[in-house]
Amino acid sequence: MGEVDPAFIQAQEHRPKPDFTKAEGIPLIDLSIISFPNSNLDNDQALGGLVEEIGDACKNWGFFQVINHGVPLAKRQNIEKASRMFFYQPLEEKRKVRRTEEKVLGYYDTEHTKNVRDWKEVFDLNVQDPTVVPASYKPDDEELTRWFNQWPEYPADMREVCEDYAKEMEKLGYKLMELIALSLGLPDDRFHGFFKEQTSFIRLNHYPPCPVPDLALGVGRHKDAFALTILAQDDVGGLEVKRKTDGEWLWVKPTPNAYIINIGDIIQVWSNDTYESVEHRAMVNSGRERFSIPYFLGPAHHTNVQPLEELINQQNPAKYRPYNWGKFLVTRKRSNFQKLDVENIQIRHFKIPESEQAEKLDRALSIKQ
């Protein structure tokens, strides 16, 4: 990434500001009472307070940080070390496990977001190996395929370290989904069934120093398509979140050993817009490289994503048509390997027009009368 290819240059309106605003308001939530065996889990008042904190963060920000989350620090340090060792190899070594349209997991350094190239290199691995998904994005094709992880020869313990870390992320992901379910007035295990054949994956990100940090981004503006994202970022920082109240981009200051959590599109649909997936992006800088490790919690490929029936009624009709998650995921993957002529698939493509929602409400009320 020595010379700056024009493919990296963001449009004027999407370039990062040189003097950024720190996101002081993003909630920092302590998970002690659910993370440690000695916690008093019978303390309904404390748990109720935690659930309320989670609900407020999901509604007002779509983002929050968690501390005392129960993930052993050593396991995080192990995967961070393995990530650095892998990315510090010569390019030809990393490309031995390069992603392709046939092998969609592994190393990649030419990813695009919103059709602009990202200033980063990544290594992707699925939590469930292999992961079953549709063979094609075409709606009428019912054939399934399996995605397998590719593992590099170096570092030698890469697979073991990543798989150990994935188990910790899965446990934390389930805890968070239980809290989110409770915050929506649902049973704590309401979401469990969706993840029995999960499509969750972990990404190792490396953002090299960039000579034009005012023109390029590590990852362009986007929303996460999955249910939930759990992000470990290093002390360099770079994550920016778009504040819901005024659209201002806010820089998220790294908190040592914390995880940054954000609501994904699937929770937005399941909650029928009670909670909203929020745009975010990653900045780069000219002086320091940056590493981060997001975990994306995804349901089984056969899941039809739609507003939960408990959260819709005559006054609050469904705001989305159902969509098949596997087809959605495979469609999104296409943009990793080719620059599309149109914007890739988004949940707003399944949004029911407000006029149609109003008609349903009018019909329901007339029937009731």
pLDDT given at position 68: 96
Distance CA 359, CA 231 (A): 41
DSSP state of 140: T
Identity of the residue numbered 67: I
Confidence grade of residue 337 (pLDDT, cut at 50, 70, 90): very low
Q: Which two tokens stand for residue 47?
A: 């748990």
For residue 89 the two structure tokens come to 């190899």
Domain boundaries, given as residue ranges, for the chain: 6-314+324-346
CA distances (Å), origin 222, targets 58, 175, 217, 265, 281: 17, 25, 12, 11, 7
- Kindly report the CA angle at 187 between 56 and 45, in degrees rounded to 5? 55
What band does 16 get if pLDDT is binned at 50, 70 and 90? confident
Beta strands in the chain (DSSP E): 21-22, 28-30, 63-67, 106-108, 112-113, 116-117, 121-126, 131-134, 144-147, 201-207, 219-222, 228-233, 239-242, 249-251, 259-263, 280-282, 290-297, 304-305, 323-324
The tens digit of pLDDT for each residue in 192-204 reads: 999 999 999 999 9
Q: Which residue has the tokens 């504040």?
A: 243
Q: Tell me the one-letter amino acid at 61.
A: W
- Gyration radius (Cα) of the chain, Å: 21
pLDDT for 62-92, tens place per residue?
Answer: 999 999 999 999 999 999 999 999 999 999 9
Euclidean distance between CA atoms 229 and 232, whole angstroms: 10
Half-sphere exposure (CA, 13 Å, Cβ side) for 248? 12
pTM beyond 0.95, yes or no: no
Q: Residues in the chain, how many?
A: 369
CATH 1.10.260.40 holds for 6-314+324-346:
no
Distance separating alpha carbons of residues 23 and 308, to the nearest angstrom: 32
Q: Write out the two tokens for 271.
A: 């909650």
Model pLDDT for residues 196-249, shown as the tens digit of each residue: 999 999 999 999 999 999 999 999 999 999 999 999 999 998 999 999 888 889
